[in-house]
Structure 1
C-alpha cells in the first residue's frame, strides 16, 4: 500500500462551515430578537422606507380588552401579521395599527363580578366611579394583551394603537351616530329585542350563543266565548260542551302577558270532545295525535272518543273568534277579551297544537301581528326578569328564566292548574335556546323602548321627525293593569318610508356584491344575514360605553337635530371623552336657543358593535385621509353577524359604501380531536404555553400551513408535525449558510455560463416565485407554505443539494461548475430567506443575521427577490421531469442491495437504464452512482468494480486502489 492511500484528505475538502445551530431554541432566542427590533425601530423605519409606495391597509378588528389571549386570538393575529409582512415584502407600504374594543358588556360584567364578591350593588355605585373602574380594567388588559400579541411576533404600531375608549375615538363614534341623527335615520320605538335579565340589557345577535336545554312544555286551554264558526257556535248554543282553544308553549312565563291567539287560515282544525268532562278542545288535525298523547295521562277520558266524532273546522272560519284568558277572574288586563288573529305566515303544524298564543312583549311575530291589530305591549316583565310589582298576576315574582319558577310545579303552572286550564305539563322538552355569551345565562325576547337604525327607510330622505315607528308610551304611563292610562289617546301612525331612494339594506347588499370575499362562499353567508336582519337596535341599558348623545323633546318625542348643538357635544367629547355627557352642563350644550326643561337627556349607551363598526372612521380615514378604505378586514366566521356587518352598515349609512375592499374569513381553533376547546373538558391549548415551550415561529408556521378557511385542529400531535416541517426548513437554511461560507461577489458567475442543472434549479425557483406571489396576493398561505417546504425538501435537499455535494466539497475553489453551484446557492439563500420571513419572522431574522450581522439591519427591510433572468428555453434542453423520475427508479432499485449490504451507498453501484436523457457521465453524477450504462428493459443494479477515491469517495475507473486519488482530486491538490 502506498503512502497516498493512507492519507487523510478531510482537511482538503470544502465542507460546509457555519455557527448556525441545528437546534433552534426559539423560546429562548425570540425575546432577544424582539428587544432588538424595538431598539432599532423596525416598524417605524419600514414606514419611512415604504413612504410613497402603494399602500396596503389591513384594518385590525378589535378584540375585547379582558383576559389573557387564547388560541383564537393567536391564530387571528398571526394570520394578520403574515399577510401584512407579505405585502410589505412585495414592496407596499403596509401599516398595521392594532386596536382594542374597550367598552361594553364584557368589561362591565367583570367589574360587576368583582362587586358581587365584595357584596356591592352596582346600582348604588356612582356612574363616574363605575366607569372609571371599567376604564382602569380595560387599560390593564390592553397592556397585558399587547405584550402577548407582540410575543407572537406581530409587528405594528404598538406605541399608538387605537382604543375605542380614547377621548378622540369616543368623539368620532358620537359623531358617526350624529350623522345618522342629523339625517333623521334614527327612531325610538318599542320592539322585542334579545334581552339578558342577568345583565339587564339588550344584546346584539353577535353577543348570543345557543345551547341545548330542557324546558317545561305546557298545553293551556283558553275558553272560547264568541265565534263565527258554525261548528263552534253549535256547541255554544247547546251549552253542555264548552269549547276551548288549546295552545302549546315552552315559555310558560309568557302566559301572564298573553293578549291574543293566532291560527293558520289553511290549516284544518278539529274539536275533540273530552269524554270525561263537558269540554271540547280545538287543535290542528295533524297535531291531534301528539296533543292526545301529551294530555292522555291527565285526561284519560279523551282517548274514549273516536275521530269520527270530531268536528273539522277550517282555519279561515276562526276569524272573529274570541277567547278569555285562563286568569280572567283577576280582572283588569286579564278580563279583556282575547281575539283570534290570522297568523298564517308563521303558524305551522310542525309542533304544538297549531294555535299560537300571542305575547307582543316577547316575540317578533307576536309584536307585528298584534300591533297590526291595535294590541300594544304592556311591559309586564322588568329588566331583571321579574313581573312588575303592580302586575295583577305574580306581581314582583320571577325571575322568568329561573327553571323552578316556570317548572310544572312552579307558580305559573300551579295557578293554571287551579284554574282548570292546564291540560299537560312536563319538564322534559329538549331544544336549543339562546344564552348570553358573557354570563352564559338564558336570555328572553323583551319589548322595551330602544333606539333603532332602520334597514328599509330611504337613505336620501329622513324619517318624518314627528313619527317614531313602533313607539309606545313609556312604562310609567301604564296603570296597574298594564292598560294605557288614556286609551282614547291617538296612537302614532307607522312611519311612512319612501322606498324610491336607496335603503340601508339595499346599499349594504349592493356593497356586498362589490366586495371581494375570501373564501368566495362567505359572501352568501353575510348576504343572507343582511337580507333577513331586523332594524339595528343600537341602544343598551348599561353604564360603560359611548352614550347616545340625543335630546328628546318631552312633548313631541322628536330628537333635536341641530348642527351647532352637535358641534358643542363633540367638542366636549374631545376634551373629556364620553364622561362629558354624564356629568355635562346640558343647558350649556343646548345653548341659548333651547331650554333643558323641555328636553329629555338620553342616557342609554351605544351598542358596542356600533363602536367597533365606526373604527374605520378614526383609524383609517383620520390616519390616511378622508375616503380611504381598508384593503382588507380579517376575522373569524362569527363576524359575519358581528364586526363585518356592523362596519358594513355603519359605513353604508354614512358613506354609501363598504369600508373595505376585501374580507377574509377564517375558522376556529379546535383541539387535536376536533372538539371545541373548553376549560371544563381540559382540552384548552394555551398559545402562551406553546410559545414558552417551542417558540412563536412554531405557532406561526402552524397557522400558515393549516387550511384556516375551515376550523383547524391543534394539539401535541399536530404541533409535532409542524415542528418536523420547521426542522426541514431550518436545516435547509443551515446547509445554505454552511455551503456559502466565504462566498464573495468575485466568485459569482454569469447565469449564461451555468450548467444545465443550475439553470434547471433557477427555473424551478422562478416557478416557485410565481406560485408564492400568487398565494400571497390571494391570502392562501396554506398553499404558500406547502410550495415553499416542498421546494426546500424535494428540489433542494433531496435533489440539488444531494447531487452537488460532490462538486461543492471536492471541486477546486475556482472551478466554474463549483462557482456556478455557489452562485445558485446564493440566489437561493436571498430568495428563500425573504419567502420565509413573513411566516418564520424570528428564524428568518436569525438566518439573515448569521450571514449579514448588523445591529441596524433586518431581513424585514428587504423586498421580494429579483431573480436573475434566465437564457432562452433552449438553454434547458433536457426534460428534467424525466430525469428526476428516472433517478427515483434508480434509487428504488439500489435500495434492496443496500438492505442486503451488497452496497453500502449508491456510490458503489453500477446501474443500467433504458433511457439516456443525458450523457452517461452526467447521469452518474445525478444518480450519485459509480457508472451508468444503457440497456433495454428495467433498471438494473450491480456492485461496481471501480475503486474508491480517498478524497471524494467516488468509485472511478482511474482509481488504481481504494484510497488513491481520482484525476479530479489529484489535480485539485496539485493546484
Structure 2
C-alpha cells in the first residue's frame, strides 16, 4: 500500500507483477510481406543445399523423389499449386524424418502447344511455318520454353517449394535430348521397334499421330447413316437383298473394304411392304426392298427408315456372303468385292448388327481385316484431313478443316458422301447422334483414325537378356506394377488395367519441336539400323549441338562406313511421353548423390495413362524394372460447387491472387486440409475456413512463445516431478509423435494437420492453457507448477514447430527464428525424439474422466451466467456430487477449482439434491452452482476467504501475496 497526497491509503496496481506473455511474434501474420523475406533468407543461405549437407554429415539414408515435369507454357494454375505443394510436403517431411532428400525440379519442353504459340508468333509477323527454317523455328521454341521455365520456377519457389533449383532439368537441354535418343536406341537395339502401317489416332489440325494419353473425350454431334450394301454372292434368297450397316462416320464409306458380323447374332432378310405416309420428305426405302439386319435390332432399323410394315422372310447365314460397295454403280473405282468377315467385336447393342469395316480408319476394322488374311491397308485421307487425289468421287474434300476460323470443324466430306449414297440409291436413312468423341488433349480439336506408317514399340514380343528373361514388355510392366507401392492403393488397379489392354506404343510424331527418333532405315529391307557406333556418334552430336544436329548434319556424319545411299534418314520426332518417360535416366542416374529407381513419384491421377505409364514402360523396356518404388496420386481441383474450373465459367481461382492477398501459407494449409487423393474443392468460403484454421494455429504458437519468454534450462522440471496435467500433455505428445511420423511416412498429410490442429484447439487452448493460465501468470517464477508448465510448453513448442514445418513452413520458420534467432533454420531440424516414458495411459484415462465431469460443471455455470446470477466462472464455487467411484477417484491429487477454472470447488460422493444441474449425457454427476465466498484477490481475481491474510498485501490471496513479495524482492521494492 502507498499513501496519497491526502495521507489516505491507495490500492496498489499489481499489473506489473503479473507474468503476462511477452513476444514480438505478431498476432497478424502479414504473410504476403513476410514470406518473401523468409524466401530471401533461404536463398541467401542456400537452404536446400544446407539441408542435404547436414543430413549427409549425419549419415542419413537417401530418399530420392523424382519430379514429374510440368509443361513450360504459361503461368501456374491452381492444379500446379496443389501438385507442387504436395511434392514440397514430401520433400520437407522426409528431411524432417531424418532423410537426405534428392529432389531436382524439372520441365517438359517439347511438343505441340509450344509449336502452336511459336507458329502464331511467326504468322503475326507475316511468316508461315513453311517459310521458316527448322533451325530458326526450333530456336524460337527453345526460347519460348526457357522463358516459361523461368516464370514457373519463380512461382513454384514463391509457394515455398524447395529443391535443387540451380540444377533443374528440362527435356530440351542438349544433354537430356541426347539421353532421350540414347534410351530410344536401346529399344532399336533390342529389336522392339517396328514400323507399321495401321490406323492411329491422327490430328489433322496438328498434323501428327497421337497416343492414347494425348486423347480426351468430349460430347460431339455426329451424322449417322444406315447404308445398303447390295449382296452379290450368297444363297438365292440373299442375292438381291442388301446388308444394312450403320455408322457415325459417313466419310469412311469410301475406305470400306468389308462388313463384319458376329456368328452368334441371328440375322434375317426383311421385305418392305409399305412405307409411312404423311411424311414431309420422301423416304429412301421402297416397297419390295429386301434388307438384311440383326433380328434384335430390326425394329430400330424399321423405325429409322420410316418403314410402316415389313415381313421377316428367312434367316441368313453370313458366312461366305459378298456384297458390292454402295458407290460401285457411280464409279468403277469402287468395283471391288466387299466380303463379310466374322468378328467378335460386333454386338447387338445398337445399329444393325453389322459393322462397316474400313481397315484404314479403325483399330477393330484393322484387326479383323488382318485376321482374315488381308494385308493391304488402303490410304484414303491425307495428313491434312483431306481425301487423297486417288479417291474416286471425293478427291481433295476435307474431312476436318485445318485452316482459318473453321479449323477443327468437320468439313464437307460427310455431306458429300451422303449425297453420293443417295444418288447411288443406297442410303436407307440418316440422323444425328450426340456421343463421346475423341479430341486432342492439346488442341481440343476432333481427331480421326487414319492409316499411316508410324513407329511402334512392341508390347508383346519376348525380350532376351537377364533383365527380362524372355518376358514381354507388357509382362515386365505388370510385374513391376505389382512390386510398386501405391498411395492410394486403388492406383495399382487403375494403371494395371490400362497396361493390360494398351496397344503397342506409338512413339513417332510428324512435327518439328522434339527429340528426334534419329534412326536410319535400310531401304532394301525397311529395317532400322542398329549399330552402336552410329548411335554413339548421333548421341554425342546431339549432346554437343542439341537435336538440331540430327536435322542439320548430313547422314554421312553419323553413318561411318555405311553407304548413305542405302539408308533413309527418319526425321520424325519422338512422342513427348517418351521424352518425359526417360527423365529418370538423365536426372537420377550417373549422380553420386542420387539413386535409381526413385523412392517416390507423385502426380495427378490422370498420369496413370500419362507420365507414370510412359516412365514405367520406358524403364521396364530398358532396365526390366519400374523407375519408382512408390507412386502417389492426387485428384483434380474443382470449384466450391464441385464443378471443373473454366475461364469461360468464371470460376477459376488464381494462386497468384491468393499469394498476393493472403500468402502462400494459406494455399499450403488448404492442401494439407483436403483429402488430396480425391478431387478437392477450393473457393472463397473454403479459403476463409483455411484462414480461420491458420489464425487459430498462429494464436497457439504466439501463446507458446509469450509464455516461454525468458525460459532457460534451470527452470526445467523432470518427468518424475511433473503434476498430473503436465503428464497428460506429455502423453499426448507421445501419441502425436507416432501418429505424425506414420502419416508422413505414408504421405497422409491430412492426418498430420487434422490431429495437430485439434490438439492445439482442444488439448492446448481449451484445456491446458485455460487451466494453467492462472499459474503461468500469477505463480512465483520458481514454483514447481509454473516451472512444470513452462517445461511442457517448451517441449510442445519444440515438437509443434517441427511437426508442422513441412506444411506451414513459413510460420514455423518465423516462430523458430523469433525464439531462437541464432539457431539456424527450423527446416534443418529433425523430429525430436519423444521418450517412451512419456506414455501414460493411466493419466490419459484419468483426464478423460475429469473432462466428463467438467462438461457438467461448465453446463451448470453457463446457465448461471445466462441468468445473470454470476458474471464469470471465478465467482463460482460449484459443489459437484458424483456417484461413480471412478469419476470421483479421477480427481485425486488435483485441485478441482483449478480444473473447473473457478475460485473454489468441492466434490461430494453421492446423488446430490433434486434441483442440482445435470447433463443427460453425463450420468452420475450433479452440480450445485454455488457462489464463491470471501474477497476478490486484486491480482488473480480469485474469490477466496484467505484474501487479506497476509498483512503486507491485504487485498491478495496467500499465493499472490507470496508471488508479489518475490517480485518486490527481485525488483528491490
Instruction: Tell me, yes or no, whether TM beats 0.5.
Output: yes
Inter-partner Cα distance in structure 2 for 1:595 and 1:584: 16
Inter-partner Cα distance in structure 1 for 2:464 and 2:167: 37
SS at match of 1:206: helix
* Residue correspondence of structure 1 range 607-686 to structure 2 within 5 A: 607-624=575-592, 628-686=596-654
Per the TM alignment, residue 28 of structure 1 is displaced from its structure 2 partner at its CA by 1.4
Query: 8 Å contact 2:251–2:399 — kept in the other structure?
Result: no
Q: Which residue is 1:539 aligned to?
A: 508
Equivalent position to 1:165, from 164, 169, 172: 172
Inter-partner Cα distance in structure 1 for 2:945 and 2:422: 107
Does structure 1 residue 933 correspond to structure 2 residue 921? no
Equivalent position to 1:282, from 287, 292, 298: 292
Per the TM alignment, residue 920 of structure 1 is displaced from its structure 2 partner at its CA by 8.1
SS at match of 2:27: coil
SS at match of 2:632: strand
Q: Which residue is 2:17 aligned to?
A: 12
Q: Which residue is 2:351 aligned to?
A: 352
Query: 8 Å contact 1:752–1:871 — kept in the other structure?
Result: no
Inter-partner Cα distance in structure 2 for 1:878 and 1:182: 68
Query: 8 Å contact 1:827–1:867 — kept in the other structure?
Result: no
Equivalent position to 1:508, from 465, 469, 477: 477
Q: Which residue is 1:549 aligned to?
A: 518
Alpha-carbon distance change, 111 to 219 in structure 1, aligned in 2, over 3 angstroms = same
Per the TM alignment, residue 375 of structure 1 is displaced from its structure 2 partner at its CA by 4.8
Per the TM alignment, residue 697 of structure 1 is displaced from its structure 2 partner at its CA by 0.3
Does structure 1 residue 884 correspond to structure 2 residue 851? yes
Alpha-carbon distance change, 648 to 452 in structure 1, aligned in 2, over 3 angstroms = same
Per the TM alignment, residue 333 of structure 1 is displaced from its structure 2 partner at its CA by 4.0
Query: Could you say what the CA RMSD is over the residues aligned between the two structures, in angstroms?
Result: 2.0
SS at match of 1:732: helix
Query: 8 Å contact 2:109–2:145 — kept in the other structure?
Result: yes
Does structure 1 residue 847 correspond to structure 2 residue 815? yes
Equivalent position to 1:123, from 122, 130, 134: 130
Query: 8 Å contact 2:582–2:618 — kept in the other structure?
Result: yes
Uncovered stretches (5+) of structure 2, i.e. residues with no partner: 3-7, 274-285, 402-407, 912-925, 967-973
Deviations 1:698-722 (A, max 9, x none): 0000001100000000000000111
Per the TM alignment, residue 4 of structure 1 is displaced from its structure 2 partner at its CA by 7.9
Does structure 1 residue 291 correspond to structure 2 residue 301? yes
Per the TM alignment, residue 954 of structure 1 is displaced from its structure 2 partner at its CA by 1.2
Inter-partner Cα distance in structure 2 for 1:835 and 1:105: 43
Query: 8 Å contact 1:360–1:376 — kept in the other structure?
Result: no
Per the TM alignment, residue 95 of structure 1 is displaced from its structure 2 partner at its CA by 2.2
Q: Which residue is 2:896 aligned to?
A: 923
Which deviates the most, 602-611 or 905-914? 905-914
Does structure 1 residue 783 correspond to structure 2 residue 793? no
Q: Which residue is 1:43 aligned to?
A: 48
* Residue correspondence of structure 1 range 223-238 to structure 2 within 5 A: 223-227=230-234, 229=235, 231-232=237-238, 236=239
SS at match of 1:802: helix
Per the TM alignment, residue 406 of structure 1 is displaced from its structure 2 partner at its CA by 5.5
Equivalent position to 1:804, from 747, 767, 772: 772
* Residue correspondence of structure 1 range 305-454 to structure 2 within 5 A: 305=310, 309-314=311-316, 317-331=317-331, 333-343=333-343, 345-373=344-372, 374-400=374-400, 405=411, 410-426=415-431, 428-454=432-458
Query: 8 Å contact 1:216–1:407 — kept in the other structure?
Result: no
SS at match of 2:452: strand
Inter-partner Cα distance in structure 1 for 2:841 and 2:271: 95
Deviations 1:414-463 (A, max 9, x none): 1111111111122x31101111121111011111111111110001179x
SS at match of 2:41: helix
Per the TM alignment, residue 66 of structure 1 is displaced from its structure 2 partner at its CA by 0.3
Alpha-carbon distance change, 928 to 226 in structure 1, aligned in 2, over 3 angstroms = same
Alpha-carbon distance change, 431 to 871 in structure 1, aligned in 2, over 3 angstroms = closer
SS at match of 2:640: coil
The aligned length equals: 915
SS at match of 2:165: coil
SS at match of 2:87: helix
SS at match of 1:646: helix
Inter-partner Cα distance in structure 2 for 1:385 and 1:606: 22
Alpha-carbon distance change, 745 to 461 in structure 1, aligned in 2, over 3 angstroms = closer
Does structure 1 residue 28 correspond to structure 2 residue 33? yes
Inter-partner Cα distance in structure 2 for 1:123 and 1:407: 26
Equivalent position to 1:267, from 265, 268, 277: 265
Inter-partner Cα distance in structure 2 for 1:161 and 1:795: 44
Per the TM alignment, residue 331 of structure 1 is displaced from its structure 2 partner at its CA by 4.4
Query: 8 Å contact 2:271–2:313 — kept in the other structure?
Result: no
SS at match of 2:387: coil
Uncovered stretches (5+) of structure 1, i.e. residues with no partner: 237-241, 297-301, 463-498
Q: Which residue is 1:484 aligned to?
A: none
SS at match of 2:631: strand
Deviations 1:157-187 (A, max 9, x none): 1111010000111111111011111111111
Which deviates the most, 276-285 or 143-152? 276-285
Equivalent position to 2:869, from 897, 902, 905: 902
Which deviates the most, 716-725 or 877-886? 877-886
Q: Which residue is 1:299 aligned to?
A: none
Equivalent position to 1:112, from 113, 119, 138: 119
* Residue correspondence of structure 1 range 725-744 to structure 2 within 5 A: 725-744=693-712
Which deviates the most, 112-121 or 573-582? 112-121
Per the TM alignment, residue 119 of structure 1 is displaced from its structure 2 partner at its CA by 4.8
Which deviates the most, 120-129 or 207-216? 120-129
* Residue correspondence of structure 1 range 122-141 to structure 2 within 5 A: 122-141=129-148
Which deviates the most, 931-940 or 806-815? 931-940
Per the TM alignment, residue 5 of structure 1 is displaced from its structure 2 partner at its CA by 8.2
Query: 8 Å contact 1:700–1:840 — kept in the other structure?
Result: yes
Relative contact order higher in (CA < 8 Å, ≥ 6 apart)? 1
Query: 8 Å contact 2:329–2:424 — kept in the other structure?
Result: no
Equivalent position to 1:193, from 193, 200, 224: 200
Does structure 1 residue 145 correspond to structure 2 residue 152? yes
Per the TM alignment, residue 887 of structure 1 is displaced from its structure 2 partner at its CA by 1.6
Query: 8 Å contact 1:179–1:654 — kept in the other structure?
Result: yes
Q: Which residue is 1:691 aligned to?
A: 659
Per the TM alignment, residue 873 of structure 1 is displaced from its structure 2 partner at its CA by 4.7
Q: Which residue is 1:748 aligned to?
A: 716
Alpha-carbon distance change, 896 to 380 in structure 1, aligned in 2, over 3 angstroms = same
TM-score (norm 2): 0.91
TM-score (norm 1): 0.91
Q: Which residue is 1:205 aligned to?
A: 212
Query: 8 Å contact 1:4–1:963 — kept in the other structure?
Result: no
Alpha-carbon distance change, 872 to 672 in structure 1, aligned in 2, over 3 angstroms = closer
Per the TM alignment, residue 60 of structure 1 is displaced from its structure 2 partner at its CA by 0.5
Q: Which residue is 1:496 aligned to?
A: none
Does structure 1 residue 525 correspond to structure 2 residue 455? no
SS at match of 1:848: helix
SS at match of 2:225: strand
4+ aligned runs moved over 6 Å, structure 1: 1-5
Q: Which residue is 1:246 aligned to?
A: 244
SS at match of 1:651: helix
Alpha-carbon distance change, 872 to 41 in structure 1, aligned in 2, over 3 angstroms = closer
Per the TM alignment, residue 369 of structure 1 is displaced from its structure 2 partner at its CA by 0.9
Query: 8 Å contact 2:62–2:594 — kept in the other structure?
Result: no
Q: Which residue is 2:104 aligned to?
A: 97
Deviations 1:163-218 (A, max 9, x none): 00001111111110111111111111112111111001111222111111111111
Deviations 1:743-766 (A, max 9, x none): 112222222211111111111111
Query: 8 Å contact 2:102–2:594 — kept in the other structure?
Result: no
Q: Which residue is 1:864 aligned to?
A: 831
